[in-house]
Amino acid sequence: MADVITYRQAVAEGIAREMRRDPAVVCLGEDIGAAGGVFKTTAGLHEEFGSGRVWDTPISEQAIVGAAMGAAMTGMRPVAEIMFSDFLACCWDYLANEIPKVRYMTGGQVTVPLVVRTANGGGLGFGAQHSQATENWALTVPGLKIAAPATPADVIGMMAAAIRSDDPVVFFEHKGLLATKGPPAPPDHVVELGQAAVLREGDDVTLVALASMVPLALAAAERLAEEGIDAEVVDLRCLVPLDAMTVLGSLAKTSRLVTVEENPYQGGWGGTLVSIVADEGFGLLDAPVRRVAAACVPLPFADVLEAEVIPTVDKVVATVRDLSAY
């Protein structure tokens, strides 16, 4: 095994491991076959598994996700790619009205075990229709599980859990992390959905982050350490199921909370998390909670403008510094 693997390679590796294990796993999406996907996140799958299991589709997001649903209802475990998460809106009926409801509406008769994978988030200067962090869209829909790994090993472990899940999972791969490297995942690595990870221990403040905001929060924690502020960093990993207990456990130690979200403040997951804390952990707090999130504006194109809108290390550091003085 190589001693490092990129996040991008981990996506293909995670899918490949499940395809080897389970012949019911099939992939479909635009340019995912011989081309290996526009982000090269399916590279090698077509070579290994052939066009009988890795299917190129037309530009037909409704057909991709609707067909994945039909296949999932009838014995397959499809992994559908929606190239950029922004395009989830094109198949939103399936994601919001059909897939997450059919099990419930049918009194548990029909199950939809599928994964919709998609490249999420900003930081690459792709403009307003190719840069959104859309995990909060899915968060509003009861019945979807939501995974958003931050490291290559987690990509593999969570992909295994997602594909094996009997429930539909929206799997957000962050564009800004694709080139990042990390230790490879051991064989049979599975990270159950709904388990946050404490990536850095600290006593003064809890930073809760997701996906690309995780390395950003870690970088902020290093800067804060130089100022004598000891931050604990929690990688949420999943929004549904949401590991609130790990966050409350961390708060019991630090008594200060900052969420770091790439999605817009309005409707972001941090809002849900802090409402749980207000409800169940108010007594743990020594200070108000703070949310560092994107401004409620479409993502602008130019770097200087984008940095103004989404969280940066500077913004996190300033927020924590301010909160520590409370």
Ligand X SMILES: Cc1ncc(C[n+]2csc(CCOP(=O)(O)OP(=O)(O)O)c2C)c(N)n1
Give the catalytic positions in this structure.
130
Secondary structure letter of residue 111 according to DSSP: -
Question: Which amino acid belongs to residue 233?
Answer: V
- Tell whether residue 87 is a contact of other proteins (CB under 8 A): yes
Start-to-end CA distance of the chain, whole Å, equals 48
> Is residue 30 close enough to count as binding ligand X by CB under 6 A?
yes
The answer to whether 97 contacts other proteins (rule: CB under 8 A) is no
Residue 266: name its binding partner from ligand X, other proteins, none (Cβ under 5 to 8 Å by kind): other proteins
Q: Nearest to residue 171, comparing CAs of 40, 15, 31, 293?
A: 15
DSSP string over 70-110: HHHTTT-EEEEEEEEGGGGGGGHIIIIIIHHHHHHHTTTS-
Query: Which partner in ligand X, other proteins, none is near 62 (CB below 5 to 8 A by kind)?
Result: other proteins
Q: What is the DSSP letter of 41?
A: T
Applying CB under 8 A, among 98, 253, 295, 321 the residue interacting with other proteins is 295
Give which of other proteins, ligand X, none residue 49 binds (C-beta under 5 to 8 Å, depending on kind).
none
- Taking the least distance from each CB to ligand X, the nearer of 64 and 229 is 64
Scanning residues 152 to 181, which ones bind other proteins (CB under 8 A)? none
Q: Which of 172, 161, 182 is nearest to 15 (CA)?
A: 161
Give the span between the Cα atoms of 29 and 15, in whole angstroms: 14
Q: How far is the CB of 171 from other proteins (least distance, A)?
A: 21
Please name the residue that has the structure tokens 């850095």: 200
- Decide whether 281 or 300 has the Cβ nearer to other proteins: 300
- In the complex, the smallest distance separating the C-beta of residue 304 from other proteins, rounded to whole angstroms, is 5
What lies within 8 Å, CB to CB, of 207 at 6+ separation is 217, 220, 221, 231, 232, 233, 234, 258, 259, 260, 316, 320
DSSP 276: H
x/- letters, 219..248, toward ligand X (CB under 6 A) = ------------------------------
Contact between 81 and ligand X by CB under 6 A: the answer reads: no
**Residues of span 264-293 touching other proteins by CB under 8 A:** 266
Q: Total binding residues for other proteins by CB under 8 A?
A: 39
Q: State which of residues 20, 23, 60, 104 lies at the interface with other proteins (CB under 8 A).
A: 60
Tell me if 51 sits within 8 A of 78, measured CB to CB.
Answer: no
Give yes or no for residue 126 binding ligand X (CB under 6 A): no
* Complex with ligand X: residue 59 or 245, whichever CB lies closer: 59
Say how many C-beta atoms besides its own lie within 10 A of residue 1's C-beta.
9
> What is the contact surface with other proteins in residues (CB under 8 A)?
30-31, 33-35, 38, 56-62, 86-87, 89-90, 124-130, 266, 295-298, 300-309
